[in-house]
A and B are shown apart, each in its own frame.
Chain A
Amino acid sequence: MLGTGLLQGLAVTAKNFAGSFHDPKRLTTVEYPEKKSVIPEAFRNFPFLVSENAEDPMGTLRCVACQICEKECPPQCIYIEKSKDKKPDASGKMQIYPAVFRIDSSVCMNCQICVEVCPFDAIKMDHVYEIATSERFETLLLDRHDLAKPNSYFHQIRPLEAAEVDGRLTAERKAAEEKAKAAALAKAALAAKPAAPAPAAPPKPPEQA
């Protein structure tokens, strides 16, 4: 009969309308500014630089300015200048650091390739999304002071990934320390005089560059 399909459809609409008051399956929206939906851990929006120390973010950046991310970035939004001098990193080894590290977040397309190619776990993806602004160059061209965020923040937004990264880095540092120790011992034995194995310097906060 003509009109049956219409009435059937209206019945579905009525069912959904009534259901939207009590059925959680049909209540899918979130009242945004007041309430926010939960962000999954894998969510990615704009990169940031991981720093070991919350008090001195510039001094303990994991980044050693190797410029791999700058080369691989598809939209070419990263700009890095290497430092002329060296600073001790978190494990006390003297390293080059980025004198300039800029990301133009108006060009960045959040593809995560910089994170994947970084051999030092120095750059990770952030969870920020409320970044609307009226000034393009003042606020969207991020330099290293804006980009540096402590490892504790990384733990807060990505607990699983951060724990995995920390475990790997600790193991790597331990292995490097033992290797250095063994090398020092061998050297000492070769020189045939007892010498204390070179201990790894504790992470000391260097001066602001």
Chain B
Amino acid sequence: MSPFDASPLSPSGGAHVRSVVDEFHGDLLEVSMGPHHPSTHGVFRMIVTLDGERIVKLKPVLGYLHRNHEKIGESTSYLGSMPYTDRLDYLNAMTNNWAYALAVERLGGLAVPERAEYLRVILAELSRLQNHVCLAGFLLQDTGASGTPLMYAFREREKILELFESLSGSRMMCNFQRFGGCRTDASSEWLGQVSSLVNGFGAFLDEFEELITGNEILMARTQGVGVMKGPAAVSAGITGPMLRACGVGYDIRKVDAYGIYPRFTFRVPIGSHGDTYDRYMIRILEMRESIGILQQALRDIPAGPIMDPKAKLRGFRPKPGESYGRIEGPKGEIGFYLISDGSANPYRYRVRPPSFVNLTLLEDLCLGHTIADSVVILGSIDIVLGEVDR
């Protein structure tokens, strides 16, 4: 009885795995990758079973960063949960804030003024830029391009984080959105700074792509590695750039048309191979579309109030009911599901984290590849453990 008989081959891809155990290929090797391994993007652990160089089984171990996020959300007030959402996907506090604010606004029947909607779009797209630029840097670091692309990416990301800091007070833990609007108004100087950054970002992307996109080593390491098929991705509930890389055109900005996204003209980039290289390219193309959205938003942003006058900061008690707020975060669909029983705390507070759901096909993507490839595949999934483990 071979140990491979029970190991299912991925329906969604992965190279052929030899299932012969003879005197030459008898031993399987179990390697515990992580939780302290730097390539696992935090404290993620993969128990990898190897036959020679090839992965035949991969078991993800989660929960090292579990902080009881949802239970804390049920024991603090609606406002008190807002700073905790910063700590879910700590690269994208702005989009987490927005998704949570959207859920609470639906629960409490609050309207958001025009200017706040524009500010939200600007901040969400800036957040997408810095997340994707980070991802490109990390992915290249994972392939072994040590330092250079990551540092170039971080140089650009830091400029965006400085804008976040001068608006919200913190680079990463922004805590900026409120139910019914935004916390502080953006000055015209700040919008001017965003404008000059956005106008210069295309040149940076050109340079970054010149540096790495045509690089033969990157192509050899990523093309055909970790191929995911569209149907498998859909049935696993994968969203975001991961899903679009395998050719499924599903973007919540288009599908749900939340906020004021229908006012902007932008395209949704779609990949065709579903491999790691496509997942990298999708991010680059999305950044270029984000630049377009930002330019339109900065052009059209009106003056006016940034808070719904009905919104109360303290003592917010929505009527009993339930709501789900979801937005297209940089990593995929980030959603908050809330049930209110009329008290000051939510009765149920549930997070739908994109990283966690996108991680479910990791084993299928990695089967048949080497350990070094599994690191690259994990890098292209774009996980943040604060969100996976909550």
Contact = CB atoms under 8 A, between A and B. Distances in A.
Do A and B interact with each other, yes or no?
Answer: yes
A6 B211 contact: no
Contacts of B212: 9
A170 interface: no
Contacts of B165: 40, 42-43
Interface string B106-150: 000000000000000000000000000000000000000000100
Nearest to A11: B210
Nearest to A3: B216
Q: Which of B84, B165, B166, B211 is packed against the most chain A CB atoms within 10 Å?
A: B211
Contacts of B214: 4-5, 8-9
A73 B207 CA distance: 45
B81 A74 contact: yes
B79 A113 contact: yes
B12 interface: no
A74 B173 contact: no
B162 to A, nearest CB: 8
Nearest to B203: A25
Interface string B211-222: 111111111000
B183 interface: yes
Interface in A30-87: 40-44, 68, 72-74
A122 B28 CA distance: 65
A117 interface: yes
A117 B79 CA distance: 10
A112 B158 CA distance: 22
Interface residues of B, number: 37
B76 A74 contact: yes
Contacts of A112: 169, 175
A19 to B, nearest CB: 11
Nearest to A29: B155
B80 A42 contact: no
Q: Is the interface of B mostly helix, strand, loop or mixed?
A: helix
Contacts of A16: 152
Interface in B177-234: 183-184, 207, 210-219
B211 A9 contact: yes
Given A44-B169, A44-B170, A74-B76, A28 B210 contact: no
A116 interface: yes
Nearest to A13: B148
B313 interface: yes
A13 B83 contact: no
A42 B184 contact: yes
Contacts of B213: 5
B380 interface: no
B325 to A, nearest CB: 20
23 contacts: A4-B214, A5-B215, A6-B217, A9-B211, A9-B214, A9-B215, A13-B148, A13-B211, A40-B166, A42-B165, A43-B169, A68-B314, A72-B80, A72-B314, A74-B76, A74-B80, A109-B83, A109-B173, A111-B82, A111-B86, A113-B79, A113-B80, A113-B82
Given A9-B212, A113-B83, A116-B183, 4 more contacts: A9-B214, A42-B166, A111-B82, A113-B82
Interface of A: 2-6, 8-9, 11-13, 16, 26, 28, 40-44, 68, 72-74, 109-113, 116-117, 125
Interface of B: 76-77, 79-84, 86, 148, 152, 155, 158, 162, 165-170, 173, 175, 183-184, 207, 210-219, 313-314
